[in-house]
Amino acid sequence: MPSLLVVHAVDQPGGAELALLRAAPLLIDRGWRITMTGPTGRRPPGAHDGIVWRQQAVGGLGRGRGAAALLAYGAFRALAAQHDVAYLNGTVPARLLPALGDGVLAGAALRGLRARGRGDGAGTGPVDVRTVVHVHDMVDRVPRFWGAADALLADSQACAAPVAAALRREVAVTGCPVDLDPPHVAPPWTPDGRPIVAFVGRIEPRKGPLDLITAAEAVRVAVPNARVVVVGDDTYDADPRYARQVDRRADVARVERWPWQAGGPGLLRHVDVLVVPSDREPFGTIAAEALAVGVPVVAGAVDGLVEVVRDGVTGRLVPPHDPLSLAHGIIWALQNGPLLREECRDAARRWSLEAVTDRIEAALRGVATISPSGRGTAPPARHAAAGEGDA
């Protein structure tokens, strides 16, 4: 039975963690033994009972805190040595990759641990484990040591491109898993037969909900009975001032404001057009979830959203921070939405849980796979043990 170690950056699951948590039951059914870690080792609610949970520090979140990951090298080497594959789920866990090699940083960290009586007995040579680094973000800086991973994954081609260019390596695109038939949930608003144009997501500048609020009046000029709703909160306290501005402007523009709702994919069944006016988006899971239930998407023509939404087929792509173009796209989607439903559902099948899990497992086993675009990728090559580079 092959064994898999997955290192997460946080204990409270976000998109990156949820993707692996959803794929885990399928991998277990396929014969994998799985250990997952977080900074405290607490098991997230709803995690599969077959997953073993362990604590593994990653050096803390935020820029400039990566050096603290050195103190976690010894524990990580010992844990990784017990598995066939070590899956570093994100750029923060990727800080641990040099620990598996025999470079200067790994050796110095281990010697320091032994000097303090905390040696782990894993030795100073390379650890014999297959390594996978999964990039979930748009990155501006690519550490050279990522090139030592046996497989590199990314959520979209937009995420993969800078990594592939910097390392001159192939980066496999997985996409993010979506439920093609999510459970039904009741909307917070009272349905009245009028079309619903919705934003569903975090209330922060990058996501652009204020652009939809600005576009609302132009939408109602063309479609007078349209209801515009904004659903979500400033979950991570990213910009409280912006969140307050959204609330004030929504009230003036007669845009309905609702807090974050559980069961977001099911909520989208009650939406006629989803609006994703982001100016930066590695993938766009909410857009793919909308397509899965036959809802067209009007999105910013940026990053991974360009790969999720097919302009004129499953929605419209518009320039970011352009409320007038956004309004035109919404009007088009309202007028054509019923004709797009089957195309939307067909497009979402690329990101079914089974399809994404297949692509992840291909990286775990080192075999060829098919990207969401339908193009094949070569088997990831086994690379030399990780050194430091830009650690």
Q: pLDDT (tens digit, 9 = 90+) per residue, 19-44?
A: 999 999 999 999 999 999 999 999 99
Spatial contact of 211 and 323, defined as CB atoms under 8 Å apart: yes
pLDDT tens-digit profile of 367-389? 876 667 665 554 544 444 444 44
Q: Which has the closest alpha carbon to 133: 352, 389, 390, 380?
A: 380
Could you give the angle at the alpha carbon of 223 between the alpha carbons of 218 and 227, nearest 5°? 85
d(CA 93, CA 99): 11
pLDDT tens-digit profile of 180-227? 999 999 999 999 999 999 999 999 999 999 999 999 999 999 999 999
Q: Do the domains 196-350 and 3-177+352-377 match in fold?
A: yes
3-177+352-377: CATH class: alpha beta
The reported pLDDT for the residue numbered 387 is 47
**Residue 204: CB partners within 8 Å, gap ≥ 6?**
234, 236, 238, 239, 242, 243
Residue 251, pLDDT > 80, answer yes
d(CA 388, CA 125): 14
Question: Bridge partners of 88?
Answer: 7, 133
Q: For residue 215, with 0-12 CB atoms within 10 Å meaning exposed, 13-18 middle and 19 or more buried, which class applies?
A: buried
**CATH T-level fold of 196-350:** Rossmann fold (3.40.50)
What does pTM read for this prediction? 0.88
Neighbouring CB atoms inside 10 A of 150's CB total: 20
Q: Which residue has the higher pLDDT, 127 or 227?
A: 227
Q: In the numeric block, which tokens belong to residue 106?
A: 């790994």
Q: Report which DSSP code applies to 182.
A: P
Amino acid in the structure at residue 5: L
Could you give the angle at the alpha carbon of 184 between the alpha carbons of 183 and 187, nearest 5°? 135
Could you give the angle at the alpha carbon of 289 between the alpha carbons of 285 and 293, nearest 5°? 170
User: pLDDT averaged over the chain?
Assistant: 90
pLDDT tens-digit profile of 62-102? 666 667 778 889 999 999 999 999 999 999 999 999 999 87
d(CA 107, CA 125): 9
Cα-based distances in Å from 140 to 151, 159, 162: 20, 10, 8
**Residue 64: CB partners within 8 Å, gap ≥ 6?**
none
The reported pLDDT for the residue numbered 106 is 56
Q: Report which DSSP code applies to 159.
A: H
Amino acid in the structure at residue 302: V
Percentage of the chain lying above the pLDDT 90 cut: 79
* Domain extent listing, the chain: 3-177+352-377, 196-350
The reported pLDDT for the residue numbered 211 is 98
Amino acid in the structure at residue 271: V
How big is the chain, counted in residues? 391
Residue 60, pLDDT > 90, answer no
**Residue 7: CB partners within 8 Å, gap ≥ 6?**
36, 37, 56, 58, 76, 86, 87, 88, 89, 93, 96
Q: Which residue has the higher pLDDT, 380 or 348?
A: 348
Residue 390, pLDDT > 80, answer no
Burial 354-378 (b: 16+ CB within 10 A, else e): ebbbbbbbbbbbeeebbbbeeeebe
